[in-house]
Amino acid sequence: MAVGANQVPSVAVTEIYLDYNATTPILPEVAEAMEPFLKNEFGNPSSVHPPGRRVRKAVEEAREQVARLLNANPSEIFFTSGATESNNTALLGATLFAGRFSGHILTSQIEHPSVIGPCRFLESKGFRVDYLPVDRTCRIDPEQAAEMVTDETILVSVMLANNETGTVQPIAEMSRRIKEKRPEVLIHTDAVQAPGKIAVDVQELGVDLLSLSAHKFYGPKGIGALWVRSGVSLAPILYGGHQEKGLRSGTENVIGIVGMGKAAEIAVRDLDQVSQHLWNLRKRFLRILDELPMTRLSGHRQWTIPSTANLCLLGADGLAVQANLAQRGICVSVGSACSSGSLKPSPVLRAMGLSEMAAFCSVRFSWGRLTTESEIDQVVEAVKEITTILRAVTLPDEIGVCDENCPCFFEGAGLS
Ligand SMILES: Cc1ncc(COP(=O)(O)O)c(C=O)c1O
């Protein structure tokens, strides 16, 4: 049974949505919390009259709810337009906008484009950026991270859970090692894929900056937050009316903020029940590895968020699998993307050492609290059928020949 499915209208009755890492539906409780601010409570939180004050109160309540999600102090929460802005603020606000024109940044090869993008920009401005490799399970080595920190390092940015594979990084251990070596280095983590799936505790993680986006945990789109540890100074990347203590100018997205607060409260409240449900679905889904030959899980078996499985269906093109699933009303995603007119394999899968062919034969399945066991069963059967048909066309003789150690899967680019 899905968690809370009875309360939520399905997007379309005929669709099976297994793309929760892309976005999640807004829960009815969240929509209800937002409703007054869509209708009557339109005040500007900066205004001192009663309509403004009422709205300010709601914004501050939401700040407390988001702080509780992270075991943080409300004064450390800064609302942004989403994780893209939070990540840009963390990276640019600690460097270029803080008046620095050189220095070292350490990040990883598997970051979201909203981290890789500002890193590339900083490189073009004279900063040195190193990109940590990952092993075949998509994990960085925390010892290597600490070794790569130099006297010039300003900031380290490594995500908590990868959006394509679900693999969870050893952030606490990495932070501890880095802080032992150089306590002044700032540590940022993009934690977008974690809330509602695993516990997120900034004290345990030992980081200084953390990014969130509400629509990844059943809140609205276009609203996120950056947690900034008290005492850490960050320069703004937007200038204006000094909202959010000057770090993020611009009239607050009150409706979004209220929705994010409610979604954070629910993520905390339901974590145990939801994560149990997600783990059960994952176990059910992964039986496909035994039932379909030449199929491999890209990601870590245990160090993972429970909602995600990235499968390499060797011999079946990922885009073709995705299109065939879509025809049956099943929504999934692939990591390959069209760039400058040509199709590029997922950089995350390539960083893990997957061959180009294996990366093109990969599909991401991500489920959520509303997914049912029966939906998972239908998807497993559909993937088996579609993959078998596609392989019969593309790989008539080789089916069953490759096992998961075959070089068809790996090129040996990963750490191990
Ligand atoms: C890991 C990660 N970071 C950052 C983002 C960006 O979030 P948003 O598009 O809400 O700004 C995403 C969204 O896909 C993500 O998965």
pLDDT tens digit sequence for 48-76: 999 999 999 999 999 999 999 999 999 99
Gap between the Cα atoms of 34 and 11, Å rounded: 19
28-269 topology per CATH: Aspartate Aminotransferase; domain 2 (3.40.640)
Distance 88 CA to ligand 1 centre (A): 11
Gap between the Cα atoms of 228 and 75, Å rounded: 9
Distance 112 CA to ligand 1 centre (A): 7
Q: Which CATH number fits domain 5-24+271-394: 3.40.50.9100, 3.50.50.60, 3.40.50.300, 3.90.1150.10?
A: 3.90.1150.10
Identical topology for domains 5-24+271-394 and 28-269: no
Closest residue by Cα to atom 7, ligand 1, is 83
Count other C-beta atoms under 10 Å from residue 100's C-beta: 15
pTM of the model: 0.94
Give the strands of the sheet with 308-313, arranged side by side: 295-297, 308-313, 362-366
Positions of the chain with pLDDT lower than 70, given as ranges: 1, 4-13, 338-341, 395-416
Domain spans, the chain: 5-24+271-394, 28-269
* DSSP assignment string, 93-132: HTTGGGT----EEEEETT--HHHHHHHHHHHHTT-EEEEE
* ∠ Cα 213 278 365 (to 5°): 70
Q: What is the pLDDT of residue 404?
A: 58
pLDDT tens digit sequence for 338-353: 666 678 999 999 999 9
Per-residue tokens: 39: 């209708």
Q: Which of the 8 DSSP states describes residue 82? A: S
Closest residue by Cα to atom 16, ligand 1, is 163
| Three-state DSSP state, 209 | strand
What sign does the dihedral 71-72-73-74 (CA atoms) show?
Answer: negative
Count other C-beta atoms under 10 Å from residue 221's C-beta: 16
Per residue, what are the HEC states of 324-338? HHHHCCEECECCCEE
Q: What is the pLDDT of residue 129?
A: 98
350 pocket-lining for ligand 1 (C-beta < 6 Å): no
Catalytic residue set: 338
Count other C-beta atoms under 10 Å from residue 9's C-beta: 8
Per-residue tokens: 132: 């940590």
